[in-house]
Amino acid sequence: MNDASAGVQSVDRALTILEVLARVGEAGVTEIAGELGVHKSTAFRLVATLESHRLVEQTTDRGRYRLGVGVLRLAGATTARLDLVQEARPVCRQLAADSGETVNIAVLSESSALYLDQVAGSSALQPHNWVGQHIPLHATSNGKVLLSGLDDKRVTEVLGTLSRYTPMTITTKAKLRAELEDVRERGYAVAVDELEEGLTAVAAPIRNAHGDVIASMSVSGPTFRLPDPRVEEVLPLLLTAAEEVSHRLGWGHR
């Protein structure tokens, strides 16, 4: 049922209560006691202590308990320290090392993708630095991932005209919409020679605690170095990296 390696049991039980409440939403003292395998009174005292720190509060009607605003307060302090770039950087470094290619982090910003961070791959020729640049959404893997997090209505709002950059660029909204559907289904996006000939990129979503797509992480490099089979190799690395960052930002189960 529980991990044997606890530490301070009393604290361990209290924290387990928080997890139980997170799972079931609301619970009474008796129910909690049952879940922990301890006596009612024990559960009560633990809950009372949690309550004194406002981590739980009891509903007015019937003495049941739920998570309280103290949690949000802690979360506020957490996100202040755990911002996207700071959390993503070590993961990006690892991914860049493992794949040997350049890794980028981008967010949606005013109808384009804004590149927030970049970690160069191990290769000799350095790509140019995208950080701070606004890049069209429809012609990049990052852009497609970011768009895939929006509903159709917002996609329409955000998209202007789909400029052509190469013969491979997607320029019709219908085709783009179909592509976005694929991205949502597969959980990643690929762009080969769509923005620039000879440039291949693959991107995956980064989600926050609510499950919203708040950013995109990509691996990119010259097309000759990233042919289809190589992309297939890199993909699982990218996906686990993006998921790792999502988890750090609170994207838990359920």
- Residue 186 has a CB neighbour count (10 Å cut-off) of 13
Q: Rounded CA gap, 47 and 41, in Å?
A: 10
| 89-210-71 Cα angle (round to 5) | 90
- Could you say which residues in the range 42-101 bind DNA, by CB under 7 A? 42, 44-48, 58, 62-64
Interhelix angle for 29-36 vs 40-52, to 10°? 110
Residue 230's binding partner out of DNA, a second copy, none, with CB under 5 to 8 Å set by partner kind: none
Residue 28's binding partner out of a second copy, DNA, none, with CB under 5 to 8 Å set by partner kind: DNA
- Could you say which residues in the range 215-244 bind a second copy, by CB under 8 A? none
- Could you say which residues in the range 149-188 bind a second copy, by CB under 8 A? 154, 157
Contacting DNA (CB under 7 A), which of 2, 22, 24, 41?
Answer: 41
Residue 38's binding partner out of DNA, a second copy, none, with CB under 5 to 8 Å set by partner kind: DNA
Nearer Cβ to DNA, position 15 or 237? 15
Are 224 and 198 in contact by the 8 Å Cβ rule? The answer is yes
Residue 178's binding partner out of DNA, a second copy, none, with CB under 5 to 8 Å set by partner kind: none
Q: Rounded CA gap, 196 and 166, in Å?
A: 6
Q: In the 8-state DSSP scheme, what is residue 117?
A: E
Contacting a second copy (CB under 8 A), which of 28, 58, 89, 184?
Answer: 89
| CB burial of residue 96 (10 Å; 0-12, 13-18, 19+) | buried
Smallest distance, a second copy to C-beta of residue 58, A: 13
Contacting DNA (CB under 7 A), which of 23, 25, 40, 52?
Answer: 40
Please identify, among the stretches 20-28, 165-173, 187-195, 224-232, the one whose residues bind a second copy according to the rule CB under 8 A.
Answer: 20-28
Are 195 and 163 in contact by the 8 Å Cβ rule? The answer is no
Contacting DNA (CB under 7 A), which of 1, 4, 9, 174?
Answer: 9
Q: How many CA atoms lie within 13 A of 245 on its CB side?
A: 30
CA distances from 166 to 111, 133, 197 (A): 20, 19, 7
Nearer Cβ to a second copy, position 6 or 178? 6
Smallest distance, a second copy to C-beta of residue 95, A: 13
Extract the tokens encoding 251: 């994207």
Binding-residue pattern over the window 48 to 87 for a second copy, x denoting contact by CB under 8 A: xxx-xx-x----x-----xxxx-xxxxxxxxxxxxx----
Selection from 194, 189, 193, 192 nearest residue 204 by Cα: 189
Nearer Cβ to a second copy, position 108 or 202? 108
Smallest distance, DNA to C-beta of residue 8, A: 5
Contacts with a second copy: how many residues (CB under 8 A)?
A: 74
